[in-house]
Amino acid sequence: MAADVARLPASGVMPVICGDAHLGNFGFYASPEGELVIDLNDFDEAHPGCWEWDLRRLVVSIWVAGRENGLTEDQCRLAVLACVASYRQEVRFLAKQPLLGRSYDRLDADRLHETATEKTLRQEIKRSARRARRRTSDRALPRFTSQREGQRRIVEEPPLITRLPDEEADAIEIALDQYLNTLAPHWHRVLGGYTITDVAQKVVGVGSVGLRAYVALLEGSSSDDVIFLQLKQARRSVLAEYVHGNSAWHVHQGQRVVEYQQSLQTVSDPLLGWTSAGDLQYYVRQFRNMKGTVPLNVMDSSALIDYARIVGHLLAKGHARTSGASMIAGYVGGSPALDEALTRFARTYADQTEADHATLVKAVKRGDLPVSQDVTAYGSAFRPG
């Protein structure tokens, strides 16, 4: 999709953007104060780029989600209109605010519940927030670890969680020591009080399959004082080619992910950092940090329209935090012209998304595209969007 949207007419206004701002990449996580907030939560592709690239991806994902949920085309259209109108209104509002003031605007879970106007969405937000608050390191102990010879170890679940050869485990532990130097001094001291007790490889996501990812268990002052850290391999953003060609620009891709995440989010995981192991670059974050999402597959038309309005607001907030808010506001204007234009685009590109997906499935069934049985077992790997 990056290749497609980069070739379309664009405003030329280039704040830091998410690069993968689809509907499923908004979710809950814990602020440094332990409060549950909602915001963009995937930054593997984050990079300076045209703001409309993010907005195009978001509206297409809304239309695809609506079709997946059995909504009519008119209901999908209303959801996209709500998203773009909300984006326009929020960016125009923030463009008039003091630069520093924009950096403090955030959406807590409690405020999100009040912001949602549709009853079923409010109920789902409440349930999702309750589940997210339970996703912490201490609660993960019985699920992911067991006691072995008096020491807690990560439990293997092949092929998703597997043990590492000693040499690879040692390299990851060294990389985590180096990662400490990328944290703010206070968090460096706090995390430095923990001891690494185990590391394992853990397959994550759909788009990240094939990249290296690890989970590390750290123990503090007692066996119940634990933190899970996740290391995810970082590569060059798919947007980079369309912004500045083949030049490197970002020396460390893990650092790129972390710094742009901190740019786009009002508050971020205080343990975000980066490191390297061999020739590979990683970013590091808490594995269990009250992360969660609002399920998309249960949304009826009213809920999807309401949620689309909320994520449009969040995307505008992220873009306005970096640069160009006044120019974006001037471009989007006060009329619904942009709303209608992106509605037409969303429907057309949703058609193309479904056609591409059907072509992929046919190629797999014919054997033209070989896949392992482990991959085909995960139906979500072949879902559109």
Q: Check: CB of residue 39 under 8 Å from CB of residue 290.
A: no
The mean pLDDT of 217-235, rounded to a whole number, is 93
Q: Which three-class secondary structure string do you get for 316-340?
A: HHHHHHHCCHHHHHHHHCCCCHHHH
Mean pLDDT on 276-301: 95
Percentage of the chain beyond pLDDT 90 is 82
Please write the tens of the pLDDT for every residue from 41-61. Answer: 999 999 999 999 999 999 999
How does pLDDT run across 4-18, given as a tens digit for each residue? 999 999 999 999 999
Q: Residue type for 191, please?
A: L
Sorting pLDDT into bands at 50, 70 and 90, what band is 206? low
Residues facing 283 on adjacent strands: 232, 274
- Angstrom distance (rounded) from CA 182 to CA 274: 6
| Apex 135 CA angle, 215 and 114, nearest 5 | 135
- Amino acid identity, position 34: G
* pLDDT interval class at 385 (50, 70, 90): very low
Element (H, E) at 273: strand 273-277
Provide the β-strand partners of residue 285.
230
Q: What average pLDDT score do residues 90-106 get?
A: 92
pLDDT of the residue at 231 = 97
Mean pLDDT computed over 250-259: 97
Check whether 375 has a pLDDT greater than 70.
Answer: no
pLDDT-derived band at 162 (thresholds 50, 70, 90) equals very high
